[in-house]
Amino acid sequence: MSTTEWASRPTGKPTIAGRIEARLRHDILHGTLAPGSRLSLDKLRAELDVGLSPLREAVTRLVSEGLVDVAPQRGYRVTPISIANFTEVGALRAELEPFALRRSIANGGLDWETGVMAALYRVNHTQRDAADPRSRAEWEAANNAFHLALIAGCDMPLLLRTHAMLVAFNDRYRNIYSEAVTVQRDVVEEHTAIAEAAVARRADEAADILKLHIARSVEILIDLIKKTHPDAPDT
């Protein structure tokens, strides 16, 4: 499963509900199912050729993950997006990820250091062509893997699950507004500075650079969204 999706999904052979959940999650995160659009279980059941019971189970899981809303008498709809929501997602990442990095620096051993540097090499050597969806997807996967490697040693499973959820929300905006995403700075240099400070156990420096890195990414995307999609919802 892609790192743009939840990190701690069940392993093994997926159930029917699990396959439906994965399909719907992918379509929501990539904008195929438009934000705010109504989800008709009857139409989905016919389209996916599945039973109502596993479909309800899958949709219920997506409700718990914040990707689907449900309201009495109104049924299900894809959770709307807004600049305010994206700002909140970014703010939470900017607080939680540096905290998790500090924990990893304190707890991580040689395997963690090796994982960080391997992930750094991968992301720094993965090309990103804004005009090529496949290239963008490969870079995003490498980028998310790098961020996960930084905090993998935090020894806090709940924090890791929360982080995976925030990354998925973040990537939803990147996917939907993909044509607006361009490289505005030297990300290779930023990633390298974070990794080198982390494995050298310079916790304050690494956390500060990471927090600025996340905040800068959020600010750039919001600015691009406002310029290229002036009708994008604010709240």
Question: Do the domain assignments include residue 147?
Answer: yes
Determine what percent of the chain is predicted with pLDDT higher than 70: 91
- pTM equals 0.85
Residue whose pair of structure tokens reads 């939840």 in the numeric block: 6
Out of 52, 78, 104, a domain closes at 78
The per-residue pLDDT for range 127-144, each reduced to its tens digit, is: 887 778 888 889 999 999
* Domain match, 34 and 99 both: no
Phi and psi at residue 13, to the nearest 5°: -70, 125
Q: How confident is the model at residue 224 (pLDDT cuts 50, 70, 90)?
A: confident
* Domain match, 72 and 101 both: no
Domain count, the chain: 2
* Domain match, 102 and 69 both: no
* Domain match, 139 and 195 both: yes
CA distance 104 to 155: 7
* Domain match, 53 and 88 both: no
Q: How confident is the model at residue 183 (pLDDT cuts 50, 70, 90)?
A: low
Question: Do the domain assignments include residue 133?
Answer: yes
The per-residue pLDDT for range 195-208, each reduced to its tens digit, is: 999 999 999 999 99
* Domain match, 151 and 210 both: yes
Question: Do the domain assignments include residue 40?
Answer: yes
* Domain match, 139 and 211 both: yes
Range of the domain at 38: 16-78
